[in-house]
Amino acid sequence: MTTIKIGNSELELGGAYVTEMRDSSGVLHDTNELHRRMEEEGYLLLRGFHDRRKVLEARMQILRRLEEQNNLDLTFPIEDGVISLDNGNASYRKHTAELTSLLEIVNGEPIMKFFDRFLGGKAMTLDFKWTRAVGAGEFTGAHYDAVFMSRGTKNLYTVWTPIGDISYQIGGLCVCPGSQRWEKVVQTYGQMDLDRDNIDNGWFSSDLLEVVDKYGGKWATTEYRAGDVLIFGMYMMHGSLTNQTNQYRLSVDTRYQLAAEPVDERWVGNNPIGHTAPRSLPPTSMAEARKRWGV
Ligand SMILES: O=C(O)CCC(=O)C(=O)O
């Protein structure tokens, strides 16, 4: 029995809440089938999409940054990315421009060519890269990406790239297939703009189980290998498993769209402005907003 952790709950893979993700790498060259699966299931897991050695090179570049920032416990090999005392999430975002190996992966030919084909035209990627080092006991709550980056085209895709091998214990991403069709949620929460609406941190819920209790379906997840990518659209409810180890979970999420379509200006340019919410007023809680929306 494989046990995984969501929030504080230990769950069985194949049980009521969690199922194994489907691997679509076998249909990588069949664009119609990729579209069909994206439409139906809402995500594409493509194993071995990137050259594993390049991803591991990017991992070392990041780990050296974390070492310089004193985030690592150096009584263990640097490769293991063991977290130093303070345990929290670590940030290396301000160093993104120096992470050349990482940028080669997320801006490189394989992924850009994939999107040229998938989108049926010249693709572009948003310049901002959401780099992550998720600490012990940490996880990401359930959300749609639309809330954070939908001022341009809605035909925008997230690519989540594990930077290293990610076991169930380290805790990678999970998605909720079918959540792209939760019409009422899409029409209310899904229309929210974090910077305009000032509602909490944008997470629909920090309790992933509550979400499927209410709307049905299951969370789908897997163990990832360096080289894999997971792709989904703006209205796919997703979050992550809890990191149960003393090692950082390294990953990056990046966005792709047709170059000819409108762009969310917050996330492009040499120094993207990012979230702009004037937080002079206290934020409305998501619980309150959900009550108002009836979701
Ligand atoms: O890596 C994570 O924990 C969150 C990533 C995420 O929310 C995304 O890829 O949109």
Atom 3 in ligand 1: residue holding the nearest Cα: 140
Could you tell me the distance, in angstroms and rounded to a whole number, from the CA of residue 134 to the centre of ligand 1?
Answer: 10
Ligand 1 and 141: CB distance under 6 A: no
Could you tell me the distance, in angstroms and rounded to a whole number, from the CA of residue 211 to the centre of ligand 1?
Answer: 17
pLDDT of residue 282: 85
Q: Is the pLDDT of residue 279 over 70?
A: no
Nearest of 231, 235, 141 to residue 190 by alpha carbon: 235
Q: Is the pLDDT of residue 151 over 90?
A: yes
Could you tell me the distance, in angstroms and rounded to a whole number, from the CA of residue 26 to the centre of ligand 1?
Answer: 25
Q: What is the DSSP string of 219-232?
A: EEE--B-TT-EEEE
Ligand 1 and 229: CB distance under 6 A: no
d(CA 227, CA 225): 6
pLDDT of residue 88: 79
In this prediction, residues 9-18 reach a mean pLDDT of 95
Burial of residue 75 (CB within 10 Å: 0-12, 13-18, 19+) is exposed
The region of weakest confidence among 4-13, 43-52, 86-95, 104-113 is 86-95
Beta bridge partners of 157: 233, 256
- The domain locations on the chain are 3-260+280-293
- List, for residues 27-85, the tens digit of each pLDDT value: 999 999 999 999 999 999 999 999 999 999 999 999 999 999 999 999 999 999 999 98
- List, for residues 180-197, the tens digit of each pLDDT value: 999 999 999 999 999 999
In this prediction, residues 209-230 reach a mean pLDDT of 98
pLDDT of residue 228: 99
Indicate the CATH number of 3-260+280-293 among 2.60.120.620, 3.40.50.1970, 3.40.50.1950, 3.40.1110.10: 2.60.120.620
Q: Is the pLDDT of residue 278 over 80?
A: no
Length of the chain: 295
d(CA 50, CA 45): 12
Atom 4 in ligand 1: residue holding the nearest Cα: 140
pLDDT of residue 67: 95
pLDDT of residue 277: 63
Nearest of 122, 117, 111 to residue 29 by alpha carbon: 117
Higher pLDDT pick, 212 / 1: 212
Could you tell me the distance, in angstroms and rounded to a whole number, from the CA of residue 173 to the centre of ligand 1?
Answer: 7
* Atom number of ligand 1 nearest to Cα 240: 3
Ligand 1 and 160: CB distance under 6 A: yes
Please provide the average confidence, as pLDDT, over all residues in the chain: 96
pLDDT of residue 1: 78
d(CA 122, CA 112): 9
Q: Running DSSP on this structure, what letter comes out for residue 50? A: S
Nearest of 51, 85, 57 to residue 228 by alpha carbon: 51
* Strand 173-175, strand 238-240: pairing: antiparallel
Angle at 58 between CA 246 and CA 150, to 5 degrees: 90
The structure's pTM equals 0.97
Contact between 135 and 89 under an 8 Å Cβ cutoff? The reply is yes
Contact between 6 and 174 under an 8 Å Cβ cutoff? The reply is yes
Specify the amino acid at residue 157: Y
Burial of residue 160 (CB within 10 Å: 0-12, 13-18, 19+) is buried
Q: Is the pLDDT of residue 223 over 70?
A: yes
Ligand 1 and 221: CB distance under 6 A: no
